[in-house]
Structure 1
Amino acid sequence: MSQLRIAVIVGSLSKQSINRQLGQGLAALMQDKADFEFIDISHLPVYNRDFDNTPDFKPFDDLKPQIRGCNGVLFVTPEYNRSIPASLKNVLDGLSRPYGQSVWAGLPAAVIGSSPGAAATAMAQQHLRNVLVSLDMPTLPQPEGFVRWSDTLLDADGKISQGSHDFLVKYMTRFLDWVQLHQKR
């Protein structure tokens, strides 16, 4: 099989997002094992079922080939008020529509996120996992990716620093193995 292609969807729209930085660090960490494609969700309108099969659905339709061209999805999410950001829920909902045309079904996924707080993004990740089950996405069960953000998580070049390196290599290796395991034969 050729090298895996992984879609990376960052829940935060902030250009300085610590979760975007984490996602970029993870992609750099595993660049010799997979190709990582960051999916831009910032331009999507708020999904409304009235969009189905209309020109208003075009921004979602345009993203579908990008997702379909990937073997798995890495969700990197912050936690907003103990849940996932609206932008992340929006892309999940929009790309699951119209009914019967979801890009998500069967696509393996992993969930990780970072926050300076002690619980990192535990509640957001649990909510996201519940949504992914309903979308029929086999989601990496272990290890869980609760990453406490600190100024030393990444080095000056944006690479994962030694303190978290071993755990994050293990996490990403397990995820890529999970993706490989769930490829359609």
Structure 2
Amino acid sequence: MTKNIKIIGISGSLRQNSYNTATLHAAASLLPESATLEIVDLSGIPIFNEDDEAKGVPQVVIDFKEKLAKADAILIATPEYNYSIPPVIKNALDWASRGNDLPLKGKPLAMVTASLGMLSGGYVQHHLRRVCAKLEMKTVNKRQVLITNASKKFSPDSKLIDELAKKSLSNLMGELVDKTNAIMSAKAEGF
């Protein structure tokens, strides 16, 4: 079964010229024609607070969860902050985990990290895998995809120019699309 796969892309950086947001744009350009990627802006999502939630879930969170629910798969591109998950990603995942509607449950997930350093990215992906496993997401990439020394791998206008990084990202996108197709086929057959 092949259908047009809708992927939601989430950046763990709010910075205007973020290498991780640029990575999402690169990923969109590397997708097969049977898939699309929409990048969701997390900047308007308030910090999670149960007191605020009790007063009513903010509309921006409702909209975010609806986009996640309509997606077939999720791609997270994130930097590593102090060996862990940036607050903007963790906050968005916390909001998405609340309530009876769990839009991430069973969704295929791929992750990638772009960083300025040589070694950055492994810890954040490890921590994200643990959080996303709790959310019952299906992580597809067994190997970590890390775009290190990002300032040398992107052009001044934020285009991914490193061929090895493009190949790794393209392989990741292929893996995400294949896993998503397999999950959708299994669901269609009643599994």
Same fold judged by TM-score > 0.5?
yes
Partner of 1:69: 70
Partner of 1:178: 179
Q: Deviations over 1:159-181 (max 9, x none)?
A: 44323232222121112111222
In the alignment, does 2:123 pair up with 1:115? no
More helix as a share of residues: 2
Q: Are the counterparts in 2 of residues 25 and 154 from structure 1 also a CA contact under 8 Å? A: no
Rounded Cα–Cα distance in structure 2 between residues aligned with 1:2 and 1:56: 33
Rounded Cα–Cα distance in structure 1 between residues aligned with 2:31 and 2:155: 16
Quote how far apart the aligned CAs of 1:93 are: 0.4
Q: Are the counterparts in 2 of residues 120 and 147 from structure 1 also a CA contact under 8 Å? A: no
Rounded Cα–Cα distance in structure 2 between residues aligned with 1:146 and 1:67: 24
Describe the shift of the 1:63–1:101 C-alpha distance in structure 2 as closer, same or farther (beyond 3 A).
same
Rounded Cα–Cα distance in structure 2 between residues aligned with 1:39 and 1:150: 22
Rounded Cα–Cα distance in structure 2 between residues aligned with 1:40 and 1:181: 28
TM-score by length of 1: 0.90
The amino acid of 2:140's aligned partner reads L
Partner of 1:131: 131
The aligned runs of 1:90-169 (5 Å cut-off) are 90-98=91-99, 100-155=100-155, 158-169=159-170
Rounded Cα–Cα distance in structure 2 between residues aligned with 1:60 and 1:54: 13
Rounded Cα–Cα distance in structure 2 between residues aligned with 1:153 and 1:159: 6
Rounded Cα–Cα distance in structure 2 between residues aligned with 1:45 and 1:140: 29
Describe the shift of the 1:166–1:56 C-alpha distance in structure 2 as closer, same or farther (beyond 3 A).
closer
Q: Are the counterparts in 1 of residues 77 and 113 from structure 2 also a CA contact under 8 Å? A: yes
User: RMSD of aligned C-alpha atoms?
Assistant: 1.8
Which range moves more in the overlay, 158-167 or 16-25? 158-167
Aligned residues: 184
TM-score by length of 2: 0.88
Gaps of 5+ in 2: none
Q: Deviations over 1:78-133 (max 9, x none)?
A: 000000110100000001112x3221111111111111212231101111110000
Partner of 1:20: 21
Q: Deviations over 1:133-165 (max 9, x none)?
A: 000001114232122133342346614432323
Secondary structure of the structure 1 residue equivalent to 2:62: helix
Quote how far apart the aligned CAs of 1:55 are: 3.3
Q: Are the counterparts in 1 of residues 8 and 74 from structure 2 also a CA contact under 8 Å? A: yes
The amino acid of 1:127's aligned partner reads H
Rounded Cα–Cα distance in structure 2 between residues aligned with 1:150 and 1:59: 31
Q: Are the counterparts in 1 of residues 110 and 172 from structure 2 also a CA contact under 8 Å? A: no
Q: Are the counterparts in 2 of residues 79 and 85 from structure 1 also a CA contact under 8 Å? A: yes
Gaps of 5+ in 1: none
Rounded Cα–Cα distance in structure 2 between residues aligned with 1:33 and 1:154: 26
Describe the shift of the 1:69–1:56 C-alpha distance in structure 2 as closer, same or farther (beyond 3 A).
closer
Quote how far apart the aligned CAs of 1:18 are: 0.9
